[in-house]
Structure 1
Amino acid sequence: MDEYLAETELCDWSSEGISELVEDLKNKSKDEREYAVNAFYWVRDNIYYFFIKTSKASDVLKDRRGDCFGKSNLLVALLRANGIPA
């Protein structure tokens, strides 16, 4: 299970920007399920689909754009940062 909570090069969930977004999403969620749903919708609605070379979660958040891989990395980072295995 630890591997699904671990921070990786592409899933850098302890970066400052991601940590701030995690706190915001936590404050808007009553439980882990709602947090996961809110995180999914946030990535879907706030990250513009655009093919780019870098897919690091913190870069996708900073640039507000990413391809499928990058958007997935960001969602996984948001989930792992809240202790949800992904």
Structure 2
Amino acid sequence: MQLIPQSSDIHAYLVADEVIDHDHPLVRETADALWTATGDAYSYAKVAFEFVRDTIPHSADSGDSRVSWRASDVLGTRNGVCYAKSHALVALLRARGVPAGLCYQRLADDDGSNPAVHGLIALRLPGAADWARQDPRGNKPGVDAQFTLEAERLAFPVRPELGEADYPELYAVPHSGVLKALRESADRSELWRILPTAL
């Protein structure tokens, strides 16, 4: 899928802010440890992806009711929904100079009901002509997301016949509707009630 960056300046996809806080000591420490184990941008990106996918459970799978949204909090609590895990992965990538942004899908139940926006990321490795989407949501039976720069292996391929869609925009900062839902939710059950259904 061809992504449309919301900023033409690649540096926008390297910035630290309140959400993608890769200047936080915990994010830096984690990034440094993962980098030491790899040593090049491709290997680092793959290991960072697998670290977030596999060691930070999606809170819907683990039953954790806490809602985290800041990257450092996601790493500290080892908890988060798809958006939060995406924030953590983007922060880890940016901490080592790999441009990364946020992208979204509209997903639904198997009968097309209960639409919700799902969060994932895209990165651009040195020398790459295009952005590559990756989904750190976390695998489980029926979900097998893998790190790849070629054919995408996302958690959820969209089903247009059910009204699902890949949004082509690549955001340097979280979508305002997504961030509002995360910040205003006291727990995950409240978040589920106010999740954006479309962008």
Smaller-chain TM-score bracket: over 0.9
**Alignment gaps of 5+ in structure 2:** 1-9, 61-65, 101-199
User: Which structure has the greater CA radius of gyration?
Assistant: 2
Of 33, 42, 45, the residue aligned with 1:33 is 42
Unmatched tracts of structure 1, length 5 or more:
none
Q: Does 1:3 align with 2:12?
A: yes
2:121 is matched with none
Alignment deviations for residues 16-39 of structure 1 (CA, whole Å, 9 cap, x no partner): 111111111111113100000000
- Name the structure where strand makes up a greater proportion of residues: 2
d(CA) in 1 for partners of 2:38, 2:51: 12
**Contact 2:22/2:91 (8 A) holds in 1:** yes
> TM-score normalized by structure 2?
0.42
Alpha-carbon distance in 1 for matches of 2:96, 2:39:
13
CA contact (8 A) 2:56 2:85 kept: yes
Higher RCO (CA 8 Å, separation ≥ 6 residues): 1
> Identity of counterpart residues, as a percentage?
41
Instruction: Write the distance in 1 (CA, Å) between the matches of 2:86 and 2:36.
Output: 22
Of 83, 96, 106, the residue aligned with 1:69 is 83
Pairwise CA RMSD = 1.1
2:18 alignment partner, SS class? coil
Figure out how many residues of one structure are paired with residues of the other and give that number: 86
Higher helix share: 1
Q: Distance in 2 between matches of 1:23 and 1:6?
A: 18
In structure 2, the residue matched to 1:83 is 97
Q: Structure 2 residue aligned with 1:47, among 56, 64, 67?
A: 56
